């Protein structure tokens, strides 16, 4: 699986949210300043070539949908972050941010208890 560029990621985030969409609909979901219709259209065709999206054709128009899930993509990029900055260990990441008090220990404790059941 390849990495997404900034512009590609932006489109994917929208598509992951709406699950399927025509270019026009993607554009509608985007924040100002909106890119040109053709810009979105170009990027989605790049995403097609990268095998991140596919489409169903309705006559001439295409309804696009993700073929890489948000979950799979976030798994990949999280792992890449952990490998580059936390020695490949999620435990290191947790302990790093727990020390910085960015993670609540009680809450974490609850999460573990729930998962252990």
Q: Which residues bind a second copy (CB under 8 A)?
A: 13, 70, 74-75, 77-79, 81, 84-86, 90-91, 93-100, 102-105, 107-109, 111-112, 115-116
Give the count of beta carbons closer than 10 Å to the beta carbon of residue 76. 14
User: Rg for the chain (alpha carbons), in Å?
Assistant: 19
Residue 42 interacts with which of DNA, a second copy, none, CB < 5 to 8 Å by class: DNA
Nearest residue (CB) to a second copy, 26 versus 55: 26
Binding mask 47-86 for DNA (x = CB under 7 A): ------------xxxx------------------------
Q: Is 75 helix (H, G, I), strand (E, B) or coil?
A: helix
Residues 19 and 26: beta-carbon distance below 8 Å: no
Q: Is 39 in the site for DNA (CB under 7 A)?
A: yes
Give the count of beta carbons closer than 10 Å to the beta carbon of residue 64. 24
């Amino acid at each position: 699986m390849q990495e997404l560029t900034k512009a590609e990621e932006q489109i994917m985030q929208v598509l992951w949210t709406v699950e399927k969409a025509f270019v026009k609909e993607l554009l509608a979901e985007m924040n100002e300043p909106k890119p040109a219709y053709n810009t979105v259209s170009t990027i989605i065709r790049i995403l097609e070539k990268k095998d991140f999206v596919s489409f169903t054709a309705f006559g001439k128009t295409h309804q696009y949908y993700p073929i890489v899930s948000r979950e799979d993509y976030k798994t990949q990029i999280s792992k890449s972050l952990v490998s580059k900055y936390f020695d490949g260990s999620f435990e290191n990441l947790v302990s790093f941010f727990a020390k910085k008090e960015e993670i609540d220990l009680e809450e974490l404790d609850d999460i573990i208890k729930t998962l252990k059941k």
